[in-house]
A and B are shown apart, each in its own frame.
Chain A
Amino acid sequence: MTMECVNPEGLRLDGRQFNDIQSSSHQTLESWIRPILLKGHERPLTCLRYNRDGDLLFSCAKDHNPTLWFADNGERLGTYRGHNGAVWCCDVSRDSSRLITGSADQTAKLWDVQSGEQLFTFKFGSTARSVEFSVGDHLAVITTDPFIERTSAIHVKRIVEDPQDQVDDSVLVINNPDGKKRINRAVWGPLNKTIVSAGEDAVIRIWDTETGTLLKESDEEVGHKKAITSLCKAADDSHFLTGSLDNTAKLWDMRTLTLIKSYTTVVPVNAVAMSPLLNHVMLGGGQDASAVTTTDHRAGNFEAKFYDTILQEEIGGVKGHFGPINALAFNPDGKSFSSGGEDGYVRLHHFDSNYFNIKI
């Protein structure tokens, strides 16, 4: 077990919105969030995911071993060994029995969550960038990167109950219109009728899962201007949030692809999350790792920033990482969240009561 409790150094509140809180109880605010530092990965984090019950936290990193933690105290439960490349994404089934991971070793693997046993390996000709189980967990959507001759593509696989019967064949393959551009995320729409994809070409697309036809594309006028790095959908599949290198995050209706809200920050956005409890969205990112200089660690702005979903105003931020934030996830109960950085650390934060009383 590797666990360390560190002092709450991270809290930053800015702006006049906080005047009322600040004056009354500045001290207690310091403990707004108690971070637990999870040291288990040796390379930059890529993905964080809670199971539905919020007791387990899965993390993926550029080292080859997805890791499972207790979401409450940060105790490490174990790792899933078998990948031979950076692991880019993972998803856990609704009943927390299966884990699917996508990796740069050109495979996606199914795991037994509890035993850590590999159940099946899907083989592709290029990096598996994103994975997600459908509603009901009988399907999975996997995206693959462009590689030499191959174009970026979205694959739909049928997942069967008994791993013995699992086959590698795709139910559906959709090639990206701009095949040279990576698809960074693809997720299921309501009732698995659609797939929403987003990637380097800054366009969000909705596909029909029956026929593989393109149904909608995001409006160029209001859409992102640079590559979309992250996508997070609401629990009821009604809306989703995208983060982009153009320093914005945008909230869209999942059925109509209408732009509802836009959140502007000062740095490229690598990760986004929506609070299931309050009307808060969280953005993470920072100056590109390759552009990070040796100056002050604050220079890169490696903060998880909170915005009011409706008013689109910044509420505050949580500092701590000394590299860009690559992954963010809210616990499904909305009372804690975790962030994963280029620095190789996962920081697990539990909100204290002040957070829930923030008024802006």
Chain B
Amino acid sequence: MEVLDIDARAAKLGIDWSQVNLDSIQLPPGQDFGIESDDEAVYHDDQSEFDTGFGNIIVVDHLPVVPMEKFEKLEGVVKKIYNQIGVIKENGLWMPVDPDTKMTLGYCFIEFNSPQEAQNAKEKSHGYKLDKSHIFAVNMFDDFDRLMNVKEEWEPPQARPYVPGENLQKWLTDEKARDQLVIRSGPDTEVFWNDARQKNPEPVHKRPYWTESYVQWSPLGTYLVTLHKQGAAVWGGADTFTRLMRYQHSMVKLVDFSPGEKYLVTYHSQEPSNPRDASKVEIKVFDVRTGRMMRDFKGSADEFSIGGPGGVAGASWPVFRWAGGKDDKYFAKLSKNTISVYETETFSLIDKKSMKVDNVVDICWSPTDSILSLFVPEQGGGNQPAKVALVSIPSKVELRQKNLFSVSDCKMYWQSSGEYLAVKVDRYTKTKKSTYSGFELFRIKERDIPIEVLELDNKNDKIIAFAWEPKGHRFAVIHGDQPRPDVSFYSMKTAQNTGRVSKLGTLKAKQANALFWSPTGKYIILAGLKGFNGQLEFFNVDELETMATAEHFMATDIEWDPTGRYVATAVTSVHEMENGFTIWSFNGNLLYRILKDHFFQLAWRPRPPSFLTAEKEEEIAKNLKKYSKKYEAEDQDVSLLLSEQDREKRKALNEEWEKWVMQWKSLHEEEKLARQSLRDGEVSDVEEDEYEAKEVEFEDVIDVTEEIVQESM
């Protein structure tokens, strides 16, 4: 309706428009005058839940047909059966009687207090055997319309034409083999190609207020998940980002994918109104592709955490830890004294029960196999030793266990291909006043899973960081005292020593507190984040030599791209200044820098694992020259083009500037006389040119200055 129409109509009805307070008008509930709400919060599938209002009525069929004398008895029996399941409403049972024969018709209607009860009653009593010839057939009243409309003859369902889905993997086929990254800054979320050749990111998609808290890639990079008030949504697609599915979970706080991207776990917790109570937690597991909720878990936070004696605030995320591998078969939850392992076929506990493990504090899946490692600390004041155990799922057989004495803490680190498990053990010294650290190294793939104990050269060194080489057999440890700890590299197998761990080397006094291996191994960044101001050392572990040292001042985050070619370092908004990110090549060349105020997040889009076999990859690495020729040529082309473009741009800028300068010069010349008169006839108007020209006049003028000083003396 146009505004004019409204005015005319109001005049006709004798309403003074200016007197009407629009805010005071309250519409009857449900009335929207045909105006569709633009509030996306209104989910369309919610609104029609109780359309008919008969949702709490069931119809029980196949009752015995009885005469009036037996009516009350039958009624009593039926009431008794259904009262066990739910509460029947007053006068909620109606058994119709044939007015001619005065016999019951063999069915009855039962109304419950709630649709849930009705549903429950239907499920539980359908097929109930009253006696041999009377087996209940129970239906929801609401289903009758549908059932009545069933055609007598069976019709083959119409085959729906096949609509090809979008190619969700298209980004992997980028001609220039670039990687994508997502960043969040201010209200905007942006996805870029990292175009290292152009030394610039190329925008893919940008959207303000795309998410209400953060974004996350799925583990194989297919989806980008965003969080909203109403739930989570995943985005992806061939050319741009379209919404593929929504998962309703109001006030969702955290999300997590299963490693094979089949399932999405969403988490919501509500602070208790009474601070002594534990907060309420709701977790839902969705099937990513269909959007169907597979299972939800509700309860107080205690049930989802190990909750120390002092009471732990919330659950630690992820609450459900997924077993390794692409199958997404098992997930486990740790709570006080129990480990609950679920399987995804039925979404129920394996063997219908949890594992009881007294005092277990930590569990960790192997990244590739369904093996669970768990840690139980010392109990009974040291009478019962601490224990690290490996449990195979679903058999729940303990594969290996090791008892450890005078342990203060343990931390478990799996190597990415599940071959090794390192357990960092902090032990008390004899006096119990301080601790020292060592490692227990498990070789999972070898017979009987041998365990080796590794102690640092100086076993009193504090261990600051530990990291396995991805897919490799080496690991790096930062140990020693801040601010200049040492970094050591070890290998689980060397040419001389296949069965034993050996040290490769130690770098003394490095300004580092974090380790970042390249996803392909071989290279590592020793980083000094936070207190160390963003010192970066790009290190080649094969050659044990430093490739480059650099600094990204105040850097807070470092992330390798999934191919190990580039590294992003970022200063996020925990700092006020210099927010933004920098892209480096793997060997420490600064490629480009992007500054963004209020920079929150940066994440590379993961890639699925390569289809190439290890042998094939090795062959490529060996004959790299052959393969790289093509790319080198491309690189050259691009750099030529770039320098050409750059020259052009510079030329244009210079010309534009020249034009301004010429204009200024001519205007200045025009105004010469006027200026001279303003300066009481002082002729010296050469000052602007003389410095540029560097003429002999220069010295003359200095002489003039000296004269002035002398005069005024």
Contacts and interface: CB of A to CB of B under 8 A. Distances in A.
A and B bound?
yes
A79 to B, nearest CB: 19
Contacts of B691: 276-277, 332-334
A134 B677 CA distance: 13
A97 B590 contact: no
Contacts of B678: 134-136, 138, 191-192
A236 B533 contact: no
Contacts of A239: 660, 664
Interface centre among A291, A310, A333, by most chain B C-beta atoms within 10 angstroms, is A310
B432 to A, nearest CB: 36
Interface in A41-87: 52-53, 55
Interface string B676-691: 0011100000011001
A20 B527 CA distance: 28
Interface stretch (B19-27, B340-348, B667-675): B667-675
Contact of B664 (A134, A192, A238, A264): A238
A97 B679 contact: no
A70 to B, nearest CB: 13
Contacts of B46: none
Contacts of B665: 236
Contacts of A301: 577-578
Given A238-B664, A300-B577, A135 B712 contact: no
B692 interface: yes
Contacts of B533: 296, 298
Given A135-B679, A235-B688, A266-B595, A255 B705 contact: no
A94 B660 contact: no
Contacts of A264: 595
A311 B653 contact: yes
B702 interface: yes
B71 interface: no
B553 interface: yes
B306 interface: no
Nearest to A94: B679
Interface in A276-295: 276-277, 279, 287, 291
Contacts of B42: none
A55 B704 CA distance: 13
Nearest to B533: A296
A118 interface: no
B595 A96 contact: no
A192 B668 CA distance: 13
B708 interface: yes
A358 to B, nearest CB: 15
Contacts, number: 82
Interface centre among B577, B657, B665, B701, by most chain A C-beta atoms within 10 angstroms, is B577
Contact of A277 (B576, B580, B653, B692): B692
A134 B675 CA distance: 11
B577 A136 contact: no
A296 B533 CA distance: 8
Given A287-B577, A299-B554, A309-B657, A136 B680 contact: yes
A201 B232 CA distance: 42
A52 B664 contact: no
B636 interface: no
Nearest to A300: B577
Contacts of A96: 705, 708-709
Contact of A236 (B575, B664, B709): B664
Q: How large is the interface on A (under 10, 10 to 19, 20 to 34, 35 or more residues)?
A: 35 or more
Nearest to B591: A16
Contacts of B653: 310-311
A221 interface: no
A208 interface: no
A190 interface: yes
B213 interface: no
A248 to B, nearest CB: 12
A13 to B, nearest CB: 13
Contacts of A332: 687, 691
Interface string A249-269: 000010100001000101100
Contacts of A135: 675, 678-679
Nearest to B657: A310
B102 interface: no
A95 interface: yes
B577 A191 contact: no
Contacts of B578: 266-267, 301
A300 B701 CA distance: 42
Nearest to A237: B668
Nearest to B664: A238
B482 interface: no
Nearest to A293: B576
Contacts of B650: 311
A50 to B, nearest CB: 13
A114 interface: yes
Nearest to A276: B691
Nearest to B689: A236
Contacts of A267: 577-578
Given A236-B664, A260-B660, A287 B576 contact: yes
A253 B660 contact: yes
B654 interface: yes
B577 A266 contact: yes
Contacts of A299: 553-554, 575, 577
Contact of A191 (B664, B671, B705): B671
Given A260-B660, A277-B691, A236 B708 contact: no
Nearest to A287: B577
Interface string B246-261: 0000000000000000
B227 to A, nearest CB: 30
B652 to A, nearest CB: 10
B658 to A, nearest CB: 9
A332 B665 CA distance: 18
Nearest to B593: A15
Given A238-B664, A296-B533, A191 B675 contact: yes
Contacts of B688: 235-236
A238 B667 contact: yes
Given A97-B712, A277-B692, A333-B691, A190 B577 contact: no
A190 B667 contact: yes
B590 A16 contact: yes
Nearest to B590: A16
Contacts of B679: 94, 135-136
Nearest to A268: B577
Nearest to A277: B691
Interface string A155-186: 00000000000000000000000000000000
Nearest to A138: B678
Interface string A295-309: 010111100000001
Interface in B608-667: 650, 653-654, 657, 660, 664-665, 667
Nearest to A301: B577
Nearest to A255: B667
Nearest to B702: A53
Contacts of B664: 234, 236, 238-239
A246 B134 CA distance: 83
A97 B705 CA distance: 11
B675 A53 contact: no
Q: Which 9 A-B pairs have the closest CB atoms?
A: A238-B664, A136-B678, A53-B705, A236-B688, A310-B657, A266-B578, A136-B679, A235-B688, A135-B678
18 contacts: A15-B590, A53-B705, A94-B679, A114-B709, A114-B713, A134-B678, A190-B667, A192-B678, A234-B664, A236-B664, A236-B688, A238-B664, A238-B668, A267-B577, A299-B575, A301-B577, A310-B654, A333-B691
Interface of B: 533, 553-554, 575-578, 580, 590, 595, 650, 653-654, 657, 660, 664-665, 667-668, 671, 674-675, 678-680, 687-688, 691-692, 701-702, 705, 708-709, 712-713
Given A55-B705, A190-B667, A267-B577, 13 more contacts: A16-B590, A53-B702, A53-B705, A134-B678, A236-B664, A239-B660, A266-B595, A276-B691, A287-B576, A291-B576, A298-B553, A301-B577, A311-B650
